Amino acid sequence: MSTIRPRPGLEGCEPYGAPELEVPVRLNVNENPYPPSEAVVAGIAAAVAGAAAGANRYPDRDFPALRTALADYLAVESGVRLPPERIWAANGSNEVMLHILQAFGGPGRPCLSFAPTYSMYPEYARDTLTPFVTERRSDDFTLGSPDSDDPGQGIQGITEAVRAHRPAVIIVASPNNPTGTALPTHQLRALLDAARGSGPVDLEGRPCDALVVVDEAYGEFRRPGVPSALELLEDNPHLVVTRTMSKAFGMAGLRLGYMAAGTSVVEALRVVRLPYHLSALTQAAALAALGHREELMAQVASLRAERDELVTWLRSRGLTAHDSDANFVLFGPFADRDAVWRDLLDDGVLIRVVGPPGYLRVSVGTPEETARFRAALTRTLSSPEHTTAQEALA
Which residues contribute to the site for ligand PLP (CB under 6 A)? 30, 92-94, 118, 173, 177, 215, 217, 244, 246, 252, 257
Separation of alpha carbons 89 and 95, rounded Å: 9
Q: Is 21 helix (H, G, I), strand (E, B) or coil?
A: coil
Closer of 176 and 370 to ligand PLP (Cβ):
176
Residue in the shown chain whose Cβ atom is closest to ligand PLP: 92
Tell me how far, at minimum, the Cβ of 95 lies from ligand PLP, in Å. Answer: 7
Separation of alpha carbons 184 and 182, rounded Å: 7
Tell me how far, at minimum, the Cβ of 369 lies from ligand PLP, in Å. Answer: 18
Closer of 99 and 166 to ligand PLP (Cβ):
99
For residue 39, CA distances in Å to 35, 46, 114, 251 come to: 11, 11, 42, 15
Tell me how far, at minimum, the Cβ of 177 lies from ligand PLP, in Å. Answer: 4
Tell me how far, at minimum, the Cβ of 142 lies from ligand PLP, in Å. Answer: 16
Tell me how far, at minimum, the Cβ of 93 lies from ligand PLP, in Å. Answer: 3
For residue 299, CA distances in Å to 41, 53, 206, 252, 377 come to: 17, 33, 49, 15, 25
Closer of 215 and 343 to ligand PLP (Cβ):
215
Strands 169-173 and 211-215: parallel
Helix (H) or strand (E) holding 389: helix 389-393
Tell me how far, at minimum, the Cβ of 301 lies from ligand PLP, in Å. Answer: 21
Beta bridge partners of 244: 257
Close Cβ partners of 67 (under 8 Å, ≥ 6 residues apart):
84, 85, 87, 88, 89, 258
Closer of 172 and 281 to ligand PLP (Cβ):
172
Tell me how far, at minimum, the Cβ of 119 lies from ligand PLP, in Å. Answer: 9
Closer of 173 and 285 to ligand PLP (Cβ):
173
Closer of 30 and 324 to ligand PLP (Cβ):
30
Closer of 51 and 217 to ligand PLP (Cβ):
217
Separation of alpha carbons 31 and 364, rounded Å: 8
Separation of alpha carbons 240 and 211, rounded Å: 7
Residues, the chain: 394
